[in-house]
Structures are given as structure tokens and as C-alpha cells.
């Protein structure tokens, strides 16, 4: 096994440096004196960067002699980044405060110009030395740079028999219908793609000896002639050395006819590159023209979802199949097989302690058969309880076995573009327990602060956040990140990383990221540091602190902060014991772009924070000890994201932060800087926004907020204070709060108006609606015009007595007529604390179906009803709910029956409903109507529970 080598990622640094130089060149004439001299220096620097870039693309980074040279490039590029931050700080400061003295302004202008010119000259000298040294740098011999590992070793142990049989059956079925067909097997490295494809190949050669079965590992330099040559050699092992397609076909076609071969199976293993995939797709589409008499099946394997998508397009789409991870039980079976094979034993069933520990270790495999097989071989060579316990507790792991896993996973890493490699490596700064669920926004904002998301020339219109979100999607597509949760629009909210992939990230980042106390040595190349424990830590090393960009603290070691930090850009403090930020933090005003003190014991932010004019993200959620914010937060003109969850912490005059994209909470006040009209200028707001104390707003103020112009908002919450008397002005205020028509989620709470607002019916993309404690509102007919509504939650609307008579008219080519009801889209319906609700009706004159034949609640999956004391009748015909799987009824003492004939019911929960107790009596007619449910709970007691193989996809992700 060859060494798994990672080196400094300097390539993206040069690209960023070129981008920054071009930006400075564009501003030099209008923003600096001595502009002629400065322009000349910048142009020289640009030329030197261009000279260095091609050397970097071909440098042998495994050569020890190049490491120092790469480090000097990193240092010089850092100096340029620091200079650009200092310049941006000066420009942003002018926006953040008013300069009252022109003389002072001119003096500062002169000083900045001289300083910029002097520093650019120093950076230029550094890159001049780098260019001169590049002549001595060892380059890669591309003729020897080939990917290895073509063997099929151990494919039979990867536990994929069922998948092999399924794919074989599918290939046979498709082959009978189409001249050319096939499938793409996609999945993360180590999940068993090559094992499955190899098994298909071997079995096809055994079962169909008269067929042509060709296995071709995909290389970077793979040409069409190489594929055809491999197919020819399958029939004639001596036919090698041909390089022309025409020559190969001239031999191959007659052989197919002479041998009467009517079936061709071509397997392309390990296709990564998207551009390469497009070329191969064109080649595959030409195969029927070359081999008109044979049925052709093509199988490709890939760890890139985009490649699979490309291969799945017309004119001849390959069916895409994602190979899923194995269960813990299946992983244990693979481990056990390898344990027995490595130890020459026949069974370990008589060792219950080993059996228990082994099954615990199987859970650490994360569903990857490769990891399970490697674990099993290692365990088989060390069959002792102490050894197995040490492996389970991560105290012992053979380096050779670790390399085998990492060498497979590294294939995904090696095929990433350089900018994605750096973003992936940065993920290692989050500990494993954190990476189980990491916020996409937090990750993107950290990347943004560290300059990993610099826009290229062809993406000037994209915001950095959009670029970062694309990077996350790309890492997910390559199985280096996994999706945990998504929002209503299908965007990733949280993601995670497999343990072994996290190990890969740690290894790839070893030159730049330091995790204390895990690190054994401290390299000068370190740019990002996380302190998980203060064990043996006396001070943050000086050599590291000078160029540190990110510092994440899990413990209170603020007293160890360097007194003169040079260019720290990201600072994250998660230490609950810390109650004060160091004064030295103020020296970072030029560079700080990401500051997070969430869940800390900090009592107050220092005044110096208000001068962080380059700050992009500020987080202080769950800061219970934080007393107040310093005045002047509105001066942070670069601030794009602010996160907090305490009404006391809403900044004043927030309307001045015109770049703001994230604002989770706004509390309305009557004083200047607290009125709702502060939202007027924040047209870039996106995501979620909660507005509280709306009783302090007037209709005119609400209209001035111009929420309808903020098209990037996904979710809005309108909240009035509790325990108020009826207020007719609530209707006017709510009318003025018209949201954008693209809104996905809306909550209205403690509203005292009698009707829903007129704009409600215009929210045609609304997916989720919550009406909470709207006591006086009795008319909810507006819900009839929400065709995309999937989640409806109505709570404590005491004036509603009956629901269900909902219909509306819409124009069509045949005139006006009954349209499909909005309830047709509902997936989840919750009704609670409806004290006057007596019953629910069908749509008048329509029964359980519309005139178009659509079942009224055709998509409803969850129905919950609670605390409705007057509810007596219900929609009793179960045919109204053909997909209902979860039904919960609580504290409805007068309800006598539940819908009959709920054929897909899997979970039923009835609590405190005395007239429904007959459903708990086995043998009764009512019990017979529900006994097919997998889980039934009556008054807190489970009366039926059985395992189901039914997997319910959350309705918001379908």
C-alpha cells in the first residue's frame, strides 16, 4: 500500500491573488495618489503570479524540496490578502462614519497611498524570489503519473449479493427491449460499486460465454480507441498495440460476426470527471452504429452524482441507481466473515463478549462494506477482548489498515478541483461530534471569511453565499458531505460527514489545520487552529499566531491569546466559562470577518467590535449572560449575517446595515431606530424573519417596511404580544405587512383581527401556514386559494365552529367552474385547542371527490386533532384519506368515531377520548377497522407494536 500523501493547497491561493491584484488595479487610479507607481508595481506583480501558476500545476508536491517554496508562496499571498483587507477596511470605514474634517481626510488618503505602495513593493520582491526559485523546482513526470489499483481483490466479501442479482435482472430486462441500454451505479467511495460491477462482470463471463464482456477502468487519459482495443483483446488476447479506431473496428466487427456474438456488456469503472462523462456518452451513443447485430449493455460506476446525471440524459439514458449504505447488522456479517478468514476460525459465537464488542464496532463502519472488511481483517489478527475493546474505543488502529480505507476515499478527494479541496479540508476543524450535524450556512460563512469563495471572472453576478452553497452541493454530489436536513424549498440546512471521510479531511488538512491537543507537532504552515482542551497548552505558539486565520476555542483559554495577532479572520468561542473577550481582539479590526460567541458566558461585547468594518458574520445565540450590545453595531457596513435569539439583543438602527442578508428577529418599538420601518432598506434579507410586538406598529409603518419587495425571504413569523384586548388596528397592520408572493412559510400568532388579510390568497407558493391563538378570527376562507399548501396548523381559533366547506372558482378555457380544492395538496393537518369546533364537513355537493374525480385529502399523511371539547362529528369515510399513515386524537371527549377504512394507517394514538375506547377492545368491529396499523397507543399504553419495513419519506422532501 502506497503512502497517502497530502500537501499544501497553494493553487487556489494564486488564483485568489490574481483576482485581488486585478481588483486593486481597477481601483488604483481613482483611489490612490502615486497611482502611476502603484499601477506599475501591481502590473509587475500580476506578471509574476502568471509565471508561477503553470509551475504550480505541474510541481511534484511529494518532493521535500518543494515544501519550503510552497510555504513562501503561501506567506507572500497572505501578505497580499492582509493588504487588501486593510485597504477594504479604510473604504468601509468611510461608510461607517462621517468624516467631518477634510484636512484629516486628505492626510489619511496620503498615508494610505504611501503605505499601499510600500507594501506592494515588498510583496513584489517576495514573488520575484519565488519566480527565480521556480527554475529549481522538481516537476511531475506525467508519463508516470497514472492511477493504480485495478485489482478486484476482496470484491466477494463486500456483501452485495442482492444488489448484483437486482442489477443483472434489470440489465436483462432492458436488453430485451432496447438495442443499447445500461445503468449507472453511483455511491460514495467504499460503498461497494466496483465490487458490484466486478461481480456482474465475472458472472456474465460464466453465464454467457458467447457474449463479449469487457471491463475498462476509466483513466484520465482514456481514449475511445483504448475502450475498443480492450473489447478486441477480450476476443483475441494477441490483438494489442492498435491505436486507430478504424483499424480496431476492422478487426473487431468480423470477430463478432464469426463468433456469432449477439450480446455485449461494457463496464466502465470509476468515471469521475463530468467533461469526460460527456465525451464517453457520445462514444456510447455511437456503439449501435458500429455493432448493429448485437444487444449492447453499458454499466458505469461513479462517485459523482453529476456524472450519473449526465449519463442519464437523452438520447440514450442510462438508468441511475444509488448504492445505499449497509445496515449495522450487514456490516457485522462482513466483519465476522473476515474475522474468521483472518484467524482461521470457524465461529466466534461461543465468545459472547467478543460478539458484543464486534457488533459495537460494526456501528462505527457507517454502512461502508470496505470499512467493515478492513475492520474484520484487523480484528481477526488480534482476537483478544482487550484488543477489540481498544479498537472500539479508538485507542488502537493499525496504520496499514487505515491507509487502505483512506486510499479508497482519497479518490474522491483527488478528483475535486483545487478550490473544493480546500473547502473540504476546512471541514476537519469541526470535531467529529459536531460534524454529525453542521449548519450549511455556518460552513459557508466560515469559507467566505477565509477567502475560499472568491468569485471567478465568469461568476461576477453570483453572491459569495451562492458560490458557497454550490460548493456544498458539489461536495454532497461527490459523497464527501451527506445531507441531514433540508428546508421547504429543498435547500440543504444541515449536513454531516462520515467518520472515515472526516479522517480523510483531517489528513488532507494536516499542513494548515491544527487541532489541540491531538497535534503532535506544530508547523509554520498552520493557518487554522481549534483548541479542544487546555491540556499541556501554555500559550498559543508564537510561530502559529502570527499568520493564524481561524481560531476556534472549546475551552476558556482567552488569556493565552497572542497579544499581537496579525490577521485573524475567524474567531469562534464556545466556552461557557468565558465571560469576557480579550482587549487584544480590538487589534483585529482590519481583518475580522467572522465572530461567533454563541453559547458562551460573555457578558458584554467590547466597544471595539463596532469598528470591525470588514465583519461579515456576527453570531451570539444562546448567550444568556450577554447583557446588551454596544452602541454602534449599525456602523458594521459589511455585515451580511447576524444571529441572535434574545429580544434584548436586537441592534438599534439596523436599517443602516444595507448589506444584511440574515436577520432572525426584529422587535418593534416606538422610539427612533426601533420602528418597523427600519426594515425598509434591507432588501437583501433572505431565509427566516420573526417580527415581534406588532401591536406597537401602525399600518403606515408596516407598509413602509416593504416586506413584499424582499423576495429572498422564505419564512415569516408575525407575532403580537399575548394577553391583549381586542384591537381593530391589528387587521390594518397585518394588511400592511404584505409578504413577497414567493413566501414558503407563514406564521401568524396572537392576532386579534376578525379576518385573514386580503393578500393571503396571493401566496400561491406557500407550503406551510400556522395560525396560532388568533382568537377573534373566524373566517378562514382565504385558505381556499393556497394550491401548494402542504402543512396547516390551526391552534386556539375559538370562533371557528365548523371547517371543511371550502371551495373556490378559477377561470379556465371553459369558463368558471369548481376547481381542485387546496386541501388536495395537504400532507399534514393539525387542529388544536379549537374550543367551539363542533364538526367537519365535506365540500358541499361534492362528496369525497371533486367533479374532476380527485379525492379531497388524497395526499394527507398526518392528521392530529387535540383539545377540541365540542367536536362530535368527523369525516367518517376513510376513502377521503387514501394515504393517511399517522392519526393522533387527544382530549376530544365528545368525539364518537374515527374515519372508517384507513387502509394505509401505520400509527394511531388516542388519548383522553372516552367515547373512542371501543377501539381498544380486541374483537370489536371498531378494533377490526384499525388492527392493521403497525402501532396503536391508547391513553399512553401501546396496545399493538410491530416492526414495519415501510419507510416514510418526510412530506416536505418529496
CB contact at 8 A, 730 and 751: yes
Residues 796 and 821 both lie in one domain: no
Across 264-273, 474-483, 511-520, 621-630, least confident range: 511-520
| Phi–psi pair at 335, nearest 5 degrees | -60, -45
100-113 pLDDT, tens digit per residue, is: 333 344 444 444 55
Look at residue 98 and tell me whether its pLDDT is greater than 70: no
Q: Using only C-alpha atoms, what is the Rg of the chain?
A: 33
**pLDDT for position 117:** 75
Across 166-180, 548-562, 693-707, 786-800, least confident range: 548-562
CATH number at residue 431: 1.10.10
Across 255-264, 656-665, 896-905, 922-931, least confident range: 922-931
Look at residue 617 and tell me whether its pLDDT is greater than 90: yes
Q: Which residue has the cell 462614519?
A: 97
The grid coordinates of residue 250 equal 476492422
Distance CA 614, CA 633 (A): 12
Query: What is the full DSSP assignment across 558-607?
Result: GGGS-SS-----EEEE--TT-----GGGGGGTTT--EEE-TTS---B--G
**pLDDT for position 154:** 44
**pLDDT for position 143:** 37
3-state secondary structure 437-501: CEEHHHHHHHHHHCCCCCCCHHHCCCCHHHHHHHHHHHHHHCCCCEEEEECCCCCEEEEECCHHH
Give the pLDDT band (50/70/90) at residue 742: very high
**pLDDT for position 18:** 65
**pLDDT for position 867:** 94
293-333 pLDDT, tens digit per residue, is: 899 999 999 988 889 888 888 777 788 999 888 888 888 88
Which secondary structure element, helix H or strand E, spans residue 265, and what is its range?
A: strand 263-269
**pLDDT for position 297:** 92
**pLDDT for position 765:** 92
CB contact at 8 A, 887 and 929: no
- Mean pLDDT score of the chain, rounded to an integer? 79
The grid coordinates of residue 419 equal 478550490
Q: Which residue has the cell 479508497?
A: 408
**pLDDT for position 374:** 82
Give the pLDDT band (50/70/90) at residue 587: confident
Look at residue 147 and tell me whether its pLDDT is greater than 70: no
The grid coordinates of residue 106 equal 486628505
Beta strands 492-496 and 482-486 are antiparallel
Residues 737 and 844 both lie in one domain: no
Distance CA 862, CA 104 (A): 67
Sign for the CA dihedral angle at 385, 388, 391, 396 comes to: positive
**pLDDT for position 706:** 95
pTM of the full structure: 0.80
768-823 pLDDT, tens digit per residue, is: 999 999 888 877 777 777 888 899 999 998 888 877 544 333 333 333 333 334 45
**pLDDT for position 612:** 92
Q: Is 336 left (phi over 0), alpha (psi -120 to 50) or beta?
A: alpha
3-state secondary structure 45-63: HHHHHHHHHHHHHHECCCC
Beta strands 839-840 and 802-803 are parallel
The grid coordinates of residue 805 equal 366547506
Distance CA 928, CA 441 (A): 50
**pLDDT for position 808:** 33
- H helices present in 346-463, as ranges: 352-362, 369-380, 385-392, 399-414, 418-426, 432-435, 440-449
More confident: 6 or 817: 6
Distance CA 342, CA 890 (A): 57
Q: Mean per-residue pLDDT for 548-573?
A: 79
3-state secondary structure at position 219: coil
Distance CA 537, CA 543 (A): 14
Distance CA 889, CA 276 (A): 56
Sign for the CA dihedral angle at 154, 155, 156, 159 comes to: positive
Domain-terminating residue out of 462, 493, 509: 509
Tally of structural domains, the chain: 6
Q: Mean per-residue pLDDT for 687-692?
A: 96
Residues 750 and 775 both lie in one domain: yes
Look at residue 619 and tell me whether its pLDDT is greater than 60: yes
Give the pLDDT band (50/70/90) at residue 562: low
CB contact at 8 A, 168 and 200: yes
Q: Mean per-residue pLDDT for 66-88?
A: 73
- Whether residue 620 is contained in a domain is answered as no
**pLDDT for position 957:** 27
Across 308-312, 382-386, 448-452, least confident range: 382-386
- Whether residue 599 is contained in a domain is answered as no
The CA angle 20-25-31, to the nearest 5 degrees, is 110
Q: Mean per-residue pLDDT for 621-642?
A: 92
Under 8 Å CB-to-CB from 572, ≥6 apart: which residues?
550, 551, 552, 553, 594, 595, 596
Q: Mean per-residue pLDDT for 665-681?
A: 94
The grid coordinates of residue 795 equal 391552534
**pLDDT for position 576:** 64
**pLDDT for position 524:** 72
What residues does 150 pair with on adjacent strands? none
The grid coordinates of residue 420 equal 473544493
Closest CA to 821 of 776, 788, 796, 779: 788
Residues 793 and 845 both lie in one domain: no
Under 8 Å CB-to-CB from 512, ≥6 apart: which residues?
8, 9, 425, 525, 526, 527, 528
Under 8 Å CB-to-CB from 374, ≥6 apart: which residues?
401, 404, 405
| Phi–psi pair at 301, nearest 5 degrees | -120, 145
Look at residue 350 and tell me whether its pLDDT is greater than 90: no
Highest mean pLDDT among 57-71, 172-186, 235-249: 172-186
Residues 441 and 301 both lie in one domain: no
Q: Mean per-residue pLDDT for 715-734?
A: 89
**pLDDT for position 950:** 31
- Whether residue 488 is contained in a domain is answered as yes
**pLDDT for position 882:** 84
Closest CA to 578 of 549, 593, 611, 556: 556
Distance CA 619, CA 597 (A): 6
- Whether residue 693 is contained in a domain is answered as yes
Residues 913 and 955 both lie in one domain: yes
Q: Mean per-residue pLDDT for 742-751?
A: 95
Residues 764 and 791 both lie in one domain: yes
CATH number at residue 260: 3.40.50.300
Domain-terminating residue out of 322, 338, 373: 322
Residues 278 and 414 both lie in one domain: no
Look at residue 135 and tell me whether its pLDDT is greater than 70: no
Residues 921 and 936 both lie in one domain: yes
Strand residues in 292-447 grouped as ranges (E): 295-302, 319-322, 438-439
87-96 pLDDT, tens digit per residue, is: 676 666 666 5
Distance CA 369, CA 773 (A): 52
CB contact at 8 A, 83 and 451: no
> How distant, in Å, are the alpha carbons of 839, 840, 868, 927 from that of 917?
20, 21, 17, 10
Residues 867 and 953 both lie in one domain: yes
**pLDDT for position 63:** 57
- Whether residue 570 is contained in a domain is answered as no
Sign for the CA dihedral angle at 284, 285, 287, 293 comes to: positive
More confident: 8 or 499: 499
Closest CA to 297 of 319, 264, 250: 264
| Phi–psi pair at 248, nearest 5 degrees | -65, -45
Which secondary structure element, helix H or strand E, spans residue 667, and what is its range?
A: strand 665-667
The grid coordinates of residue 748 equal 401568524
CB contact at 8 A, 183 and 167: yes
Give the pLDDT band (50/70/90) at residue 118: confident
Return the number of other C-beta atoms located less than 10 Å from residue 201's C-beta: 20
CB contact at 8 A, 467 and 455: yes
Look at residue 379 and tell me whether its pLDDT is greater than 70: yes
Q: Which residue has the cell 487541532?
A: 515
**Percentage of residues of the chain with pLDDT beyond 70:** 79
Residues 861 and 932 both lie in one domain: yes
Give the pLDDT band (50/70/90) at residue 661: very high
Return the number of other C-beta atoms located less than 10 Å from residue 406's C-beta: 21
Q: Mean per-residue pLDDT for 474-485?
A: 89
Distance CA 695, CA 693 (A): 5
**pLDDT for position 10:** 60
- Whether residue 911 is contained in a domain is answered as yes
Domain-terminating residue out of 274, 292, 322: 322
Look at residue 887 and tell me whether its pLDDT is greater than 70: yes
Buried b (16+ CB within 10 A) or exposed e, 837-854: bebbeebeeeebebeeee
Look at residue 864 and tell me whether its pLDDT is greater than 90: yes
**Percentage of residues of the chain with pLDDT beyond 90:** 25
**pLDDT for position 821:** 40
- Whether residue 237 is contained in a domain is answered as yes
**pLDDT for position 955:** 28
CB contact at 8 A, 883 and 858: yes
**pLDDT for position 560:** 72
Look at residue 31 and tell me whether its pLDDT is greater than 60: no
Beta strands 492-496 and 438-439 are antiparallel
Domain limits for position 374: 328-397
Closest CA to 455 of 443, 467, 440, 469: 467
Q: Mean per-residue pLDDT for 640-665?
A: 94
The grid coordinates of residue 288 equal 449501435
Residues 468 and 365 both lie in one domain: no
- Whether residue 577 is contained in a domain is answered as no
Closest CA to 860 of 833, 829, 819: 829
Amino acid at each position: 500500500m502506497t503512502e497517502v500523501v497530502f500537501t499544501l493547497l497553494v493553487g487556489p491561493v494564486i488564483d485568489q491573488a490574481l483576482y485581488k491584484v486585478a481588483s486593486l488595479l481597477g481601483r488604483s487610479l481613482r483611489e490612490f495618489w502615486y497611482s502611476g507607481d502603484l499601477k506599475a508595481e501591481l502590473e509587475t506583480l500580476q506578471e509574476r503570479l502568471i509565471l508561477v501558476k503553470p509551475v504550480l500545476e505541474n510541481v511534484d508536491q511529494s518532493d521535500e524540496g518543494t515544501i519550503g517554496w510552497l510555504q513562501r508562496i503561501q506567506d507572500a499571498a497572505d501578505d497580499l490578502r492582509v493588504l487588501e483587507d486593510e485597504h477594504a477596511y479604510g473604504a468601509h470605514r468611510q461608510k461607517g462614519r462621517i468624516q467631518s474634517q477634510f484636512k484629516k481626510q486628505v492626510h489619511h488618503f496620503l498615508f494610505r497611498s504611501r503605505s499601499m505602495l510600500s507594501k506592494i513593493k515588498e510583496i513584489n520582491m517576495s514573488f520575484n524570489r519565488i519566480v527565480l526559485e521556480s527554475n529549481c523546482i522538481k516537476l511531475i513526470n506525467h508519463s508516470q503519473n497514472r492511477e493504480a489499483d485495478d485489482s478486484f481483490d476482496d470484491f466477494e466479501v463486500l456483501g452485495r449479493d442482492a444488489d448484483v442479482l437486482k442489477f443483472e435482472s434489470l440489465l436483462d430486462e432492458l436488453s430485451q427491449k432496447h438495442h443499447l441500454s445500461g445503468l449507472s451505479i453511483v455511491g460514495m467511495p467504499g460503498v461497494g460499486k466496483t465490487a458490484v460491477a466486478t461481480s456482474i462482470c465475472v458472472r456474465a463471463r460464466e453465464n454467457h460465454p458467447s457474449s463479449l464482456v469487457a471491463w475498462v477502468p476509466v483513466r484520465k487519459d482514456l481514449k475511445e480507441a483504448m475502450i475498443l482495443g480492450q473489447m478486441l483483446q477480450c476476443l483475441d488476447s494477441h490483438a494489442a498495440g492498435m491505436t486507430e479506431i478504424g483499424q480496431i473496428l476492422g478487426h473487431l466487427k468480423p470477430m463478432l460476426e464469426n463468433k456469432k456474438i449477439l450480446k455485449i456488456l461494457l463496464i466502465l469503472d470509476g468515471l469521475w470527471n463530468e467533461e469526460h462523462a460527456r465525451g464517453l456518452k457520445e462514444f456510447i451513443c455511437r456503439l449501435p452504429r458500429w455493432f448493429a447485430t448485437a444487444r449492447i449493455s453499458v454499466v458505469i460506476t461513479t462517485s459523482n452524482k453529476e456524472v450519473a446525471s449526465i449519463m442519464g440524459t437523452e438520447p440514450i439514458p442510462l438508468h441511475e441507481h444509488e448504492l445505499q449504505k449497509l445496515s449495522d447488522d450487514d456490516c457485522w456479517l462482513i466483519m465476522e466473515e473476515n474475522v474468521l478468514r483472518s484467524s482461521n476460525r470457524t465461529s466466534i459465537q461461543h465468545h459472547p463478549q467478543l460478539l458484543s464488542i464486534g457488533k459495537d464496532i460494526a456501528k462505527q463502519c457507517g454502512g461502508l462494506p470496505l470499512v467493515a472488511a478492513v475492520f474484520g481483517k484487523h480484528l481477526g489478527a488480534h482476537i483478544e477482548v482487550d484488543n477489540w475493546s481498544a479498537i472500539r474505543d479508538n485507542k488502537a488502529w493499525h496504520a496499514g489498515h487505515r491507509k487502505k480505507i483512506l486510499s479508497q476515499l482519497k479518490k474522491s478527494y483527488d478528483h475535486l478541483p483545487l478550490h473544493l479541496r480546500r473547502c473540504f479540508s476546512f471541514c476537519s476543524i469541526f470535531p467529529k461530534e459536531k460534524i454529525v450535524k453542521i449548519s450549511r450556512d455556518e460552513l459557508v460563512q466560515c469559507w467566505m471569511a477565509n477567502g475560499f469563495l472568491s468569485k471567478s471572472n465568469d461568476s461576477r453576478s453570483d453572491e459569495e453565499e451562492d458560490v458557497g452553497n454550490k460548493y456544498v452541493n458539489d461536495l454532497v454530489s461527490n459523497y464527501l458531505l451527506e445531507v441531514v436536513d433540508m428546508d421547504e424549498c429543498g435547500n440543504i440546512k444541515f449536513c454531516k460527514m462520515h467518520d472515515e471521510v472526516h479522517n480523510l479531511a483531517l489528513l488532507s488538512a494536516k499542513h494548515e489545520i491544527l487541532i489541540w491537543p491531538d497535534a503532535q507537532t506544530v508547523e509554520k504552515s498552520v493557518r487554522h487552529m481549534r483548541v479542544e482542551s487546555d491540556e499541556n497548552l501554555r500559550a498559543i505558539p508564537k510561530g502559529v499566531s502570527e499568520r493564524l486565520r481561524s481560531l476556534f476555542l472549546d475551552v476558556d483559554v482567552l488569556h493565552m491569546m497572542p497579544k499581537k495577532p496579525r490577521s485573524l479572520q475567524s474567531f469562534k468561542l464556545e466556552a461557557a466559562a468565558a465571560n469576557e473577550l480579550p482587549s487584544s481582539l480590538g487589534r483585529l479590526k482590519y481583518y475580522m470577518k467572522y465572530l461567533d460567541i454563541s453559547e458562551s458566558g460573555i457578558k458584554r461585547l467590547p466597544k471595539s467590535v463596532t469598528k470591525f468594518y470588514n465583519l461579515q458574520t456576527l453570531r451570539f445565540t444562546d448567550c444568556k449572560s450577554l447583557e446588551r450590545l454596544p452602541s454602534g453595531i449599525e456602523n458594521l457596513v459589511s455585515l451580511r449575517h447576524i444571529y441572535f435569539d434574545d429580544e434584548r439583543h436586537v441592534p438599534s438602527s439596523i436599517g443602516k446595515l444595507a448589506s444584511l442578508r440574515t436577520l432572525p428577529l426584529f422587535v418593534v418599538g416606538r422610539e427612533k431606530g426601533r420602528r418597523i420601518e427600519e426594515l425598509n432598506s434591507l432588501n437583501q434579507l433572505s431565509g427566516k424573519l420573526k417580527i415581534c410586538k406588532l401591536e406597537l406598529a401602525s399600518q403606515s409603518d408596516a407598509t413602509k417596511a416593504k416586506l413584499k419587495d424582499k423576495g429572498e425571504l422564505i419564512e415569516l413569523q408575525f407575532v403580537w404580544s399575548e394577553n391583549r384586548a381586542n384591537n381593530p388596528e391589528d387587521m390594518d397592520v397585518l394588511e400592511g405587512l404584505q409578504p413577497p408572493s414567493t413566501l414558503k412559510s407563514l406564521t401568524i400568532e396572537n392576532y386579534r383581527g376578525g379576518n385573514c388579510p386580503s393578500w393571503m390568497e396571493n401566496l400561491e407558493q406557500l407550503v406551510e401556514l400556522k395560525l396560532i391563538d388568533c382568537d377573534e378570527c373566524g373566517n378562514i376562507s382565504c385558505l381556499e386559494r393556497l394550491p401548494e399548501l402542504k402543512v396547516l396548523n390551526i391552534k386556539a381559533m375559538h370562533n371557528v365552529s365548523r371547517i371543511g366547506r371550502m371551495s373556490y372558482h378559477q377561470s379556465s378555457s371553459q369558463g368558471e367552474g369548481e376547481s381542485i380544492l387546496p386541501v388536495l395538496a395537504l400532507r399534514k393537518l393539525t387542529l388544536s385547542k379549537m374550543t367551539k369546533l363542533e364538526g367537519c364537513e365535506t365540500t358541499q355537493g361534492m362528496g369525497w371527490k371533486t367533479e374532476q374525480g380527485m379525492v379531497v385529502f388524497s395526499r394527507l399523511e398526518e392528521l392530529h386533532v387535540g383539545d377540541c371539547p365540542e367536536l362530535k362529528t368527523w369525516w367518517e369515510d376513510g376513502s377521503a384519506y387514501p394515504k393517511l399513515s399517522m392519526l393522533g386524537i387527544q382530549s376530544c371527549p365528545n368525539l364518537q368515531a374515527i374515519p372508517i377504512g384507513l387502509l394505509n394507517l401505520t400509527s394511531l394514538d388516542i388519548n383522553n377520548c372516552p367515547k373512542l375506547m371501543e377501539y381498544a377492545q380486541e374483537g370489536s368491529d371498531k378494533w377490526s377497522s384499525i388492527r392493521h396499523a403497525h402501532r396503536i397507543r391508547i391513553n399512553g399504553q401501546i396496545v399493538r407494536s410491530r416492526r414495519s419495513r415501510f419507510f416514510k419519506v418526510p412530506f416536505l422532501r418529496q
